[in-house]
Structure 1
């Protein structure tokens, strides 16, 4: 595969047909969100996969700085969405891709990765997602020991993943009316919510950042709880992530699986939008926030589509609760935190003790909390 020469964000299009852009690569087509008004003061940024911004921005920056070169192999551990984004970025820039995949990666995702040219090492079935992640990290380290020429992307810890969201912020800011905005989204690795809010604030816009977390995650201090239904991929973590910058967040909501499911099914039922579980959680939170702050525009981040949740969530739509009857418990400190839904004014506090990265060794032994049934 021959590398493409450009490593800066391209112009919006190389030409147009009927007023629509003609893109040079599929990543340009899928990275930008569709902006959909849900209610008077709520807009959904619906992505096919939001992590394309993170992967493209990181790869371009690393190429420009000479930290990687065309033909080199990029490696990372992933449960699926970042893996696909990284594989597409490697396809675009003539790089090789090696994914150490979770046991939860399905056959459709694996086929896409392999056809794109990625090497996929998938972990065997595991009794727990924690064990699955630990196996993946050990496998990455073993590969790096044998192949020091590989570049480990470290999506959870390398701040280079923030850079792509500058482009996203410019697109969103240009489409939304002037004035204050509240960004609502799953915290995950921290790069999407943090990167977008940081870039919007740098442009001069007043931004309130609302993060969404599962119970059982160390990121915002809920690790003492266990949600028996939970599998929130990419929303929380069982160890610290360096890319989560706690001081950027104004408010944090913690939701269990049932509430996230209510939001996802409600989004499809009310607005015909088929989106993932993290988007459902953000939708529920934004609906509550928007009712309390009608003077502000609320931007909901819809990180991916609902296809990988078809069986685990949407086939059970009859079980979903009505969003209108759901309310969070307002708390003043983490000592008051309670399932199934709590909200706290975080107000830029520092990371709780369990979310602080003591050293690089702690930072790279990653185990994500995923949300499933």
Structure 2
């Protein structure tokens, strides 16, 4: 029996969707990292019940942190992306979380830069707040150790390929780290949207929609570029096709980043070795009903899609590109940012 709904929601489902193809399905994935991070901070005495936790989010981390704060008697304040929808806004409000949402924007860079500026304003006014730094503090890796253990119990990980969004760097990066402690040959395939600088696609814009949760327009220190074997850049139209096909073929109702992961995982399974391929479904499809599922008749057949194989970042292009990354370091234009640094005068709660 669980003591709180957040504990139950942090448990993923492992689903066989095809021969050698598996889905690690979360209701809200980042509950795993938020719960573990908050527990660790409480145990260390860095924060105490009643303190306010602050962070930026494009969606699912906001909900995860609000649930973790509810679970442990803390206050929550979120600087939210333009992509935070009315359903999530209502949930955050009822949970007692305060949301500062950015104005509408079709630019990932503008949206994230606005959030950075707002975080700094809030911390300058409230130095007693604890900034969670989901993009920069490796404390967010901790929660995925138990998930990796679950995967090891259920799958042969000796020749496993894990496919999922790069995002803040904590989820797929942490899974690979913990899995490789027992199975060094585990391959990691990361997903990026066009327009994200994390793996050097800032020069290619997606005119349709931002898949904000798996990319970034600013450097994220939690991303370990040297962990990734392969990178897929997936545009909105291709990701939408994946989401619809996953629901139609396998009855898994999941979000847009999951559609991209499913698309890439199917390709890797068909063109790789004989080992199992596991893709991460980070959230459900409820946020994407209008943009993705209500227009399901418009999507092409999945069999019509294949990635453009590229050897250089200058060759990236829509709707889908793939590069053998080979566990290289970050592109030269991606350097450690200052987003994770404390503004003048700020001290985390002690």
Q: TM-score under structure 1 normalisation? A: 0.88
Partner SS for 1:313: helix
Partner of 1:37: 16
User: Cα distance, 1:339 vs. partner?
Assistant: 2.3
Q: Which moved more, 1:104-113 or 1:284-293?
A: 104-113
Distance 1:134 1:364, change over 3 A: farther
Contact kept in structure 1, 2:109 and 2:218, CA below 8 Å: no
User: Cα distance, 1:113 vs. partner?
Assistant: 1.0
Give the aligned CA root-mean-square deviation in angstroms. Answer: 1.8
Equivalent of 1:314 in 293, 296, 315: 293
Partner of 1:237: 216
Contact kept in structure 2, 1:253 and 1:342, CA below 8 Å: yes
Partner of 1:356: 335
Distance 1:363 1:216, change over 3 A: farther
Q: Structure 1: which 5+ residue stretches go unaligned?
A: 1-21, 366-373
Q: Where do 1:123-142 residues align within 5 Å?
A: 123-126=102-105, 128-142=107-121
Partner of 2:156: 177
Partner SS for 1:324: helix
Partner of 1:10: none
Equivalent of 1:227 in 189, 196, 206: 206
Q: Using the alignment, how far apart are the partners of 1:96 and 1:178 within structure 2?
A: 39
Partner of 1:46: 25
Q: Using the alignment, how far apart are the partners of 2:232 and 2:32 within structure 1?
A: 25
Equivalent of 1:202 in 181, 205, 211: 181
Equivalent of 2:40 in 61, 67, 82: 61
Partner of 1:115: 94
User: Cα distance, 1:103 vs. partner?
Assistant: 3.3
Q: Using the alignment, how far apart are the partners of 1:298 and 1:304 within structure 2?
A: 19
Distance 1:136 1:336, change over 3 A: closer
Q: Deviations over 1:56-82 (max 9, x none)?
A: 121112122222122111011222210
Q: Deviations over 1:256-308 (max 9, x none)?
A: 11111111111011101110000000101010100112511001100001111
Distance 1:215 1:102, change over 3 A: closer
Distance 1:125 1:255, change over 3 A: closer
Partner of 1:16: none
Size of the aligned set, in residue pairs, is 343
Q: Structure 2: which 5+ residue stretches go unaligned?
A: 344-350
Partner of 1:326: 305
Partner of 1:301: 280
Q: Using the alignment, how far apart are the partners of 2:304 and 2:126 within structure 1?
A: 54
Contact kept in structure 2, 1:73 and 1:97, CA below 8 Å: yes
Distance 1:125 1:218, change over 3 A: closer
Q: Using the alignment, how far apart are the partners of 1:268 and 1:52 within structure 2?
A: 23
Q: Using the alignment, how far apart are the partners of 2:306 and 2:106 within structure 1?
A: 34
Q: Using the alignment, how far apart are the partners of 1:307 and 1:273 within structure 2?
A: 12
Q: Using the alignment, how far apart are the partners of 1:331 and 1:152 within structure 2?
A: 38
Contact kept in structure 1, 2:107 and 2:210, CA below 8 Å: no
Q: Using the alignment, how far apart are the partners of 2:127 and 2:38 within structure 1?
A: 18
Equivalent of 2:138 in 153, 159, 178: 159
Partner SS for 1:156: coil
